Amino acid sequence: MSTPIARIIGAVLLVTVFGSPSSQAGTVSAAVAANFAAPMKAIAARFEHDTGHRVRLSFGASGRFFAQIRHGAPFDVLLSADDEKPARLEAAGLAVPGSRFTYALGAIVLWSARPDLVDAQGRVLETGTFRHLALANPKLAPYGEAARSVLQKRGLWSTLRGRLVYGENIAQTYQFVASGNAELGFVALSQVLKDGQIRAGSAWRVPAELYPPIRQQAVLLNRGADNPAARALLDYLQSPAVRRLIRHYGYGP
């Protein structure tokens, strides 16, 4: 049980690291990759409670956000689903140099809402006992690029191209499969994981060697350079407690 002294010390540490919840509160506008929606909502709620700052969240495809930021979209920070786009924004002078860091390592699964469709080795891809296979658009979403890599390494990209349906982002791709409009699809592990297990349906956890590492990076954009709330959010993402929460959602450290 915590003592009054311990609670006071904890409060002092909180103010020291993240600022006072009741003073100088600001607002940060964050563009967040669609795969990270669930953990980011939880993180934002904790961040607002702990710091008093407010967070405006926008979820979508990293490629779409990249284009919008280049055309002046009013975001303070970007949480991308890859490391390429934050690096390109920094190189283009649109992000604060040295502010990039990897906040999560993503993983993909081949998933179906049907409990009997996807086997533990993903052989269903070879059997062809389905009409539609969903994946995020590889041109916009890093998770789509990863799915394409899996199919290419399995020698199935050309064979299955006529059955592919594309979501603009991984959230839309998940909806295709969850609704049954596509019998199966490549989605983010975080979307179907609960307490370390696939929560419904059937899935093949794709071996990491079949696709490039999905290093999800955050970066402080120029618009947020002088915004204390934006810098506080990025600091918060790197705190030990938040890193534990991110792992809980199925991401690598």
Give Cβ neighbours of residue 156 (< 8 Å, ≥ 6 apart).
125, 126
Residue 23 has what pLDDT?
52
pTM (predicted TM-score): 0.82
Class of domain 4-105+214-248: alpha beta
Instruction: Render pLDDT for 14-24 as a digit per residue (tens, 0 to 9).
Output: 443 454 444 57
Exposure letters 233-252 (e unless 16+ CB within 10 A, then b): bbebbebeebeeebeebbbb
When the candidates are 3.40.50.300, 3.30.365.10, 3.40.50.1000, 3.40.190.10, the CATH number that belongs to 108-205 is: 3.40.190.10
Crossing angle of helices 4-18/228-237, nearest 10°? 120
Give the separation between CA 89 and CA 227, rounded to whole angstroms.
Answer: 18
Q: Which residues on neighbouring strands pair with residue 166, listed in sequence order? A: 135
DSSP assignment, residue 35? G
| Per-residue pLDDT, 24 | 76
Domain boundaries, the chain: 4-105+214-248, 108-205
Tokens standing for residue 121: 């080795």
* CA dist., res. 83 & res. 96, Å (int): 15
Low-confidence ranges of the chain (pLDDT < 50): 1-17, 19-22
- Beta strands per DSSP E along 99-231: 101-106, 108-112, 133-136, 164-167, 184-188, 193-194, 197-198, 202-205, 214-220
What is the model's pLDDT at position 6?
41
Cβ contact 247:193 at 8 Å: no
C-alpha closest to that of 221 among 55, 40, 59, 78: 78
